[in-house]
Amino acid sequence: MGEAKTALLICGHWRESGELTDWLLDEDVEVHVIPELCHHFDFPRLLAGREIRRLILGLCREGSSIGELQTQARKVGLDPLGVEIVSLNGNGIERSKVLLAGALARARAFKGSKPENAKLYLSSRISRRSLLRLSLTEYRAVSSIDQGICAAGSGCSLCVSVCPQSALEWSDGILGHDRSRCEPCGLCVTACPRGAVIDPACTPAQLEAQIRTLLSVGYSDPRGIVFLCQQSPEPKAASGWMPVKLPCVGMATPTWILAPLLLGAGAVAVLSCQRSCPTSQSRAIKQGVAFCREFLRLIGAPEDLVMLNPALEEPPREGRGTVPLEDPYSHKAHANVLTKLASEYGRSRVILEHPLSPVGVVEIRDDACTACGMCAATCPTSALTHEEGEEGVTLSFDAGECVACGLCLSKCPERGRGAIILHKIVNLELLSQGRMPVYVERMARCIACGAPIASAKMLGRLEELLGSEHAPVMPLISSHCMDCRVMAHG
């Protein structure tokens, strides 16, 4: 038997704990039942000297001290943000096995955190009197930005616009992150079209691993996925509903909600905190679910495959099986999830315009566009590209890459004349069409050296803007490149 890398600790108070000790015949996992684990996280002695890399706790009591757990995890050299806790209270043995297997998969997909991901919290506000006895610190995972991937340099500030705490700031192409304001809601993570914002405790790989396992480990009942907030108590639900916790449900994009239906889920429930939502996401969550239901209706699937705040007393319906799908929770997966789901119901031609559409279509109006390329330069997903060739300037668009962020629109110098129109729309035919030229314009070339000057449209627009007062300079600008202009003028 090899050295164990993952430890699964079960509280001995849980009446079914004895059933679990021989359950996982995986030599990479060791299972221990510890008496009173819910009251004392006294596991460092047990794990001392072992090469444990990942830890999962099965607890039968809610309200354990996270701070204390994190302290004990550090003592055995573990990253506390990667420790998974499963609430076993009220669960039977079969369901508990599925939940623990899901947590195990999620823990294994944890890639570690950076110091900036751990934010310090006190348990509650403290009075000056109680300050004399400080209590309870714990750390929660907050996101960090991979500056090497971040598109702030080309003008992207989508994460800034969604942050409910104003913890992010864009300034001169640099993204600033004020950790003191940041709360672990994850909205910036899914707003980023490049996957540059990372919450190490809730990565796309972790979610995928957990959901795939929850839906595939042996279990007799049909299964559904319940998305709920990290801080929410687990709801009372029929046994087939499997909880997946997110920092805030508001971070779940429509395709995050729909993806489990392709992974074998019979239905998906989204539980929002409603009026008590600390990040005021209730309306956005409602709209996101509405988008999912409308999309389901259009592809001929029952709308109630996705539900907002259902009672969960009824078990979910039987799923349709698993569809091969790579990285369904990646920032690039929107088009793939929508197309595959529609295909499952035999649809390939669906059009849905919706403010929360995760994909979009950009329309270029050739009577106003000057082919300057600003839209392509700022497009964070390269859905729009700008190429200069012998024939001229070509703007191309791939609907499958577009995330309907609208940056192209905001940066277009001719937006006032309607050069770009963004349709927040799912058009399945366009999603699978690939890259297509959307605007081709002749390039004016230098009569002296042949180098490109600008598109003919841009020169025309320049002439229009300069007006008659500066008209004499136009022939020179239109005929010579920058280098040759100096010589021609001199």
Partner 1 sequence: MVEWEGEALGRLRQGLYRFFASSFLYPEESRLAILIETTRRLDQDYLARFAFHHSWMRLRGAMQEEAMVSGLGKQYIRLFSAGLGGAICPPYESFYLALPGQPASLFALQLEREYAGLGLALSPDYENLPDHVSAELEAMAFLCGKEAEAWSDRACERVVKVIEDERTFLQRHLEKWFFAFAERVMEEAAGTIYGTIAEAADAFIRHDLELSNLLLREVSV
Are residues 336 and 414 in contact, defined by beta-carbon separation less than 8 angstroms? no
Which is nearest to 399 in space by CA: 335, 329, 336? 335
Our finding on whether 25 is near partner 1 (CB under 8 A) is: no
Q: Is 349 in the site for partner 1 (CB under 8 A)?
A: no
Q: Are 295 and 350 in contact (CB under 8 A)?
A: yes
Residue 43's closest CA among 21, 18, 10, 17?
A: 10
Nearer to partner 1, 107 or 443 (CB): 107
Find where tokens 């919706």 sit.
354
The minimum distance between CB 315 and partner 1, in angstroms, equals 38
Choose between 25 and 132: whose C-beta lies nearer to partner 1: 132
Residue 280 sits in the site that holds partner 1 (CB under 8 A): no
Whose Cβ is closer to partner 1: residue 49's or residue 346's? Answer: 49
Number of residues that this document lists for the chain: 490
Q: Which CB, 128 or 275, lies closer to partner 1?
A: 128
- Helix, strand or coil for residue 131? helix
Helix residue spans in 9-65 (DSSP H)? 44-47
From CA 112, how far away is CA 195, in angstroms rounded? 17
Residue 141 CB, shortest distance to partner 1, in Å, is: 11
Helix or strand (DSSP H, E) at 423? strand 420-423
Stretch that binds partner 1, among 72-80, 189-197, 198-206, 454-462 (CB under 8 A): 72-80
Work out how close the CB of 72 gets to partner 1 at its nearest, in angstroms, rounded to a whole number. Answer: 8
The answer to whether 114 touches 144, Cβ cutoff 8 Å, is: yes
Measured from the Cβ of residue 462, the count of other Cβ atoms closer than 10 Å reads 16
Do 448 and 478 meet the contact criterion of CB atoms below 8 Å apart?
no
**Interface with partner 1 by CB under 8 A: which range of 60-68, 192-200, 333-341, 399-407?**
60-68
The piece of 117-125, 225-233, 358-366, 437-445 that touches partner 1 (CB under 8 A) is 117-125
**Residues of this chain, 122-141, that bind partner 1 according to CB under 8 A:** 122-123, 125-129, 131-139
Residue in 39, 45, 74, 442 binding partner 1, rule: CB under 8 A: 74
* Contact call for residue 174 and partner 1 (CB under 8 A): no
Question: Pairing between strand 6-11 and 29-34?
Answer: parallel
Residue 433 interacting with partner 1 (CB under 8 A):
no
What the block records as the tokens of 215 is 């839906």
**Interaction with partner 1 in 179-198: which residues (CB under 8 A)?**
179-180
Nearer to partner 1, 123 or 280 (CB): 123
Nearer to partner 1, 15 or 50 (CB): 50
Residue among 21 and 137 whose Cβ is closer to partner 1: 137
Given CA atoms 407, 427, 396, 432 in this order, what sign does their dihedral have? positive
Report d(CA 298, CA 303) in Å as an integer. Answer: 9
Out of 120, 421, 436, 487, the only residue in the binding site for partner 1 (CB under 8 A) is 120
Find, among 423, 404, 307, the residue nearest to 359 by Cα: 404
Write out the residues near partner 1 by the rule CB under 8 A: 65, 67-68, 71-72, 74-75, 77, 79, 115, 118-123, 125-129, 131-139, 179-180
